Amino acid sequence: MLSRPLIAPLILLFGLAILFESCKENKESKNDVATEEEQRDSVLPLEQLNLPEGFEISIYAEGVDEARSMAMGDDGTLFVGTRTANRLYAILDLDGDFKADKTIVLDTTLETPNGVAFKNGALYVAEVNRLLRYDDIEQQLSSPPEPEVIYDDYPDEFHHGWKYIAFGPDDKLYVPVGAPCNICDSTVVDERYASITRMDPDGSNREIVARGVRNTVGFTWHPETEELWFTDNGRDLMGDDIPPCELNRVSETGQHFGYPFCHGGTIKDPEFGDQRPCSDFEPPVQNLGPHVAPLGIKFYTGNMFPESYKGHAFIAEHGSWNRSAKIGYRITLVKLDGNQAASYEPFIDGWLDDASQERFGRPVDILFLDDGSMLISDDYADVIYRVTYEG
């Protein structure tokens, strides 16, 4: 007979084994048919949000657990990726009233399917180390096809491994590779770390476009110059107020943007700064707030918002996680004068109560609809908002 001191550890080990097998089965199982989820009524205090005069915000879709990156299909299907929820969504506005009527879960077996992009009828999805393609997806939402793996040789390090992806005006698929750490020179292990890469839609001809990029989870192209612009999350553990996060512009292929040697264009890193001077690198177009975690970025080209917003950059700031007083949790606007930043200011805030430090939302990505309105994903409130201008 086992003694009492031995029984408890054995029970614990047995329970952990069952839990492991349960998680493993859930990870390896795959739904044969997509599932449909009901829209859940939101109780978010949208009245606490501050918008410029004439703008309004409403809920476009709710119950979208951990809504992250967004991409629009040719037939009006909104595809949404997630990070730790491991879900891939298709959201439909069937009656054209700019409010989702149906949310379909396309897949639950993917590993961190944060990035989504759409091209020629196909949905592209980025996991940590590979890229998938669902062909003719909008015609098969109720029974999605098995995805084709177009590339599976990215590093499998989870730290900053989730990816934002998008097709550029050159028809190339752009894929970043974050640094696998807070601060390190990871390129000595793999030159693809801390970079933005691009490739043909079939996964061939991959090359590095930008280096020294710690962790970008949002980029876009200027509507006139077609140059790549991206946000970058600054390093941690240098204090509350440094370094800044960044908005950057790629004017030439292969440019280096400083990480891990220099931050914000002028701040020497305490661990790596002696190796190379800040003058070696491309400075940011705009230094953003420290630790605001900028993610999605889009230039406004629509006709709903006032003319004064056209051609300027909107940024979703996810918000700080380890600053003593939280900041971010907002949509900001960087107005430009050519390729130079003329101003940096809040466009929507109020998701964070500065006094209580309580939050009810965290903006992630931005997408503009054909009518010129703005969609914002929120992985904390599990919703997608729609911002309109009524004049």
Asked whether the beta carbons of 284 and 331 are under 8 A apart, the reply is no
Please report, for the chain, the start and end positions of each structural domain, with discontinuous segments joined by +. Answer: 1-30, 32-389
Let me know how long the chain is: 391
Please state the φ and ψ torsions of residue 162, each to the nearest 5 degrees: -65, 145
Q: What is the residue-level pLDDT of the chain in tens, covering all 391 positions? A: 334 343 333 333 334 333 333 333 333 334 444 777 655 556 899 999 999 999 999 999 999 999 999 999 999 999 999 999 999 999 999 999 999 999 999 999 999 999 999 999 999 999 999 999 999 999 999 999 999 999 999 999 999 999 999 999 999 999 999 999 999 999 999 999 999 999 999 999 999 999 999 999 999 999 999 999 999 999 999 999 999 999 999 999 999 999 999 999 999 999 999 999 999 999 999 999 999 999 999 999 999 999 999 999 999 999 999 899 999 999 999 999 999 999 999 999 999 999 999 999 999 999 999 999 999 999 999 999 999 999 7
Q: What sign has the CA pseudo-torsion 21, 26, 32, 35? A: positive
The residues near 76 (Cβ < 8 Å, ≥ 6 apart) are: 92, 93
pTM: 0.90
State the Cα torsion 352-356-358-362 to the nearest 10°. Answer: 20
What does the block give as tokens for 229?
Answer: 């612009």
Measured between alpha carbons, how far is 67 from 59 in angstroms, rounded to an integer? 13
Please determine, looking at this structure, whether the domain spanning 32-389 carries the CATH number 2.120.10.30: yes
Measured between alpha carbons, how far is 212 from 254 in angstroms, rounded to an integer? 10
Measured between alpha carbons, how far is 179 from 205 in angstroms, rounded to an integer? 22
The residues near 131 (Cβ < 8 Å, ≥ 6 apart) are: 124, 125, 149, 150, 151, 152, 154, 165, 173, 175, 203
Q: For every residue of 113-168, which 3-state class applies, written as one string? A: CCEEEEECCEEEEECCCCEEEECCHHHCCCCCCCCEEEECCCCCCCCCCCCCCEEC
